Copies of this chain bind each other. A is one copy, B any other.
């Protein structure tokens, strides 16, 4: 089974190293990991870098059987939008989508951290932040479109049991997510065969 490794990991200075470590972990669990930066390195030689990266990522997503997304909040309340685009794309293409976050802080708490001021219950019974816009109150880790896409596989987002030291490099939560995927794989599937 091929897993597309979505996440803002590509923005790390040592992204190649992190990608290799993730791929190595995938192999340990009988998966093939596809890391977006593989495209980027080749694309660097091409003229239209952005377009080439996009086309490469789309081709890789089409090749993958599932998406495993690093949904750690990135420069704001929610996950990296590039990653979320890929989660939506993968889901639409019938791929199973799984996700994890290396940050445990809940959604409503994250909104409060970014939008200063108290939350208030509106006349319509929805929760509102000080920016005047509602805050989803479904006990999900992030926007319901992401949460429900993951739940279609019967799995919520995987979170660390305790605070993680290096948010962008620790791979323990990623590995727990791989174990979850492995447990979900039907018996006799290529995953089992590969071990």
**Is A144 a contact partner of B78 (Cβ separation < 8 A)?**
no
Determine how many copies of this chain the complex contains: 2
B144 touches A50 (CB 8 A): yes
Q: Which residues of B contact A11 (CB under 8 A)?
A: 133-135
A140: contacting residue among B50, B87, B134, B149, CB under 8 A: B50
**A85 → chain B, closest Cβ, in Å?**
4
Residue in A10, A81, A111 with the greatest tally of chain B CB atoms within 10 Å:
A81
How many angstroms from the CA of A144 to the CA of B11 in the assembled complex?
Answer: 13
Q: How large is the interface on A (under 10, 10 to 19, 20 to 34, 35 or more residues)?
A: 35 or more
> Which residues of chain A (113-150) have a CB below 8 Å from chain B?
114-115, 122, 124, 126, 128-129, 131-136, 138, 140, 142-149
- Are the CB atoms of B87 and A168 closer together than 8 Å? no
Given A76-B76, A81-B145, A88-B92: A13 and B132 interface contact (C-beta under 8 Å): yes
